Chains A and B, each alone.
Chain A
Amino acid sequence: MAINFDNAFGIHQYTLGLREQRAEVLSSNIANADTPHYKARDLDFASALERAKNRQGFAMSGTHERHLVASTQLGGDLQYRTPWQPDTGDGNTVDVHGERSRYIENAMEYEASMRFLNGKIKGLTSAIKGE
């Protein structure tokens, strides 16, 4: 029976990357809380995860130094947030408190994924060592 890392790590290997990207988007929202005309954005997590899972076999390998690098950047999952409150006059739709709690929540979920991965790695290690 071969050890398959892809099966062992399950969904968590994809969620980690997405959580990182979501942290980026949310931190941009918080940073631009005082910027006129800035519109708050967020990652559509479900569709982004679906995309990340389905793209696993589509990485392009460069076999020549002049080959272009094909990036697996996520596209089209960024969406604008619907504001809760009417415009206060500067066209900014960032709700700092909401974004902050979402940012912290995202960090917690990142850590949860990290712990799952850690558990899996520990399990694999003990299987390899035969302890």
Chain B
Amino acid sequence: MSLFKVMDVAGSAMSAQTLRLNTTASNIANANSVSSSADATYRARQPVFAAAFDRAQQDQQAVGVKVLGIVESDQPLVREYNPGHPQADADGYIFKPNVNVMEEMANMISASRSYQTSVQVAEVAKTMLTKTLTLGQ
């Protein structure tokens, strides 16, 4: 039954979007985590999605989503002069993460909408399957 594969595909999309929500949550949570050196500062993280094509199977119909990895943003960090801060370095500077909270909020909404769509897809597939099981009754 290929309708079960629809469930798999929707499930892979849901787990990918959950991971995206996770990274967004940690980005927003750490938006104000300052530190005293550039290396120790938090950088915004984003997952990289890819279509899960199976090379062995030609003309594949069900294609799920896989997460290739999580990349850290290479946007410049915010360096702020704040000598009174307990974490200021020798020159009186602190480093703030390169998280753009507005972008992350938009990302969060997009991820949650995509998740909802996948849930709907799985629900419709479930209805189709249930109808099939009662065929001829």
Q: How far is the CA of A37 from the CA of B50 in the complex (A)?
A: 8
Residues of A within 8 A of B125 (CB): 23, 27, 107
Q: A23-B125, A107-B128, A121-B135 are in contact. Are A35 and B65 (CB under 8 A)?
A: yes
Q: Which residue of B lies closest to A38 (CB)?
A: B51
Q: Which residue of B lies closest to A74 (CB)?
A: B59
Q: Quick check: is B38 within 8 A (CB to CB) of the other chain?
A: no
| Interchain nearest-CB distance for A78 vs B (Å) | 6
* Interface size of A in residues (CB-CB distance below 8 Å): 35
Q: How far is the CA of A31 from the CA of B50 in the complex (A)?
A: 11
Residues of B within 8 A of A47 (CB): none
Residues of B within 8 A of A75 (CB): 58-59
Q: How far is the CA of A33 from the CA of B120 in the complex (A)?
A: 14
Q: Is the CB of B9 within 8 A of A31?
A: yes
Q: Quick check: is B40 within 8 A (CB to CB) of the other chain?
A: no
- Selected from A27, A78, A114, the residue in CB contact (under 8 A) with B132 is A114
Q: Quick check: is B75 within 8 A (CB to CB) of the other chain?
A: no
Q: Is the CB of A103 within 8 A of B2?
A: no
* Residue of B9, B48, B136 with highest tally of chain A CB at under 10 A: B9
Q: How far is the CA of A38 from the CA of B17 in the complex (A)?
A: 16
Q: Which residue of B lies closest to A96 (CB)?
A: B117
Q: How far is the CA of A96 from the CA of B131 in the complex (A)?
A: 26
Main secondary structure of the interface of B (DSSP, over half): helix
Q: Is the CB of A27 within 8 A of B10?
A: yes
Residues of A within 8 A of B13 (CB): 30-32
Q: Is the CB of B50 within 8 A of A35?
A: yes
Q: How far is the CA of A120 from the CA of B61 in the complex (A)?
A: 30
Residues of A within 8 A of B62 (CB): 24-25, 27-28
Q: A31-B9, A34-B114, A103-B124 are in contact. Are A20 and B49 (CB under 8 A)?
A: no
Residues of A within 8 A of B17 (CB): 34
Q: How far is the CA of A78 from the CA of B49 in the complex (A)?
A: 23
Q: Is the CB of A24 within 8 A of B136?
A: no
* Residue of A28, A32, A76, A100 with highest tally of chain B CB at under 10 A: A28
| Interchain nearest-CB distance for A119 vs B (Å) | 10
Q: Is the CB of A107 within 8 A of B135?
A: no
A sample of 6 cross-chain residue pairs with beta-carbon separation below 8 angstroms, ordered by A number, consists of A28-B64, A30-B10, A38-B63, A75-B58, A110-B131, A118-B135
Closest 3 CB pairs of A and B: A31-B13, A28-B63, A121-B136
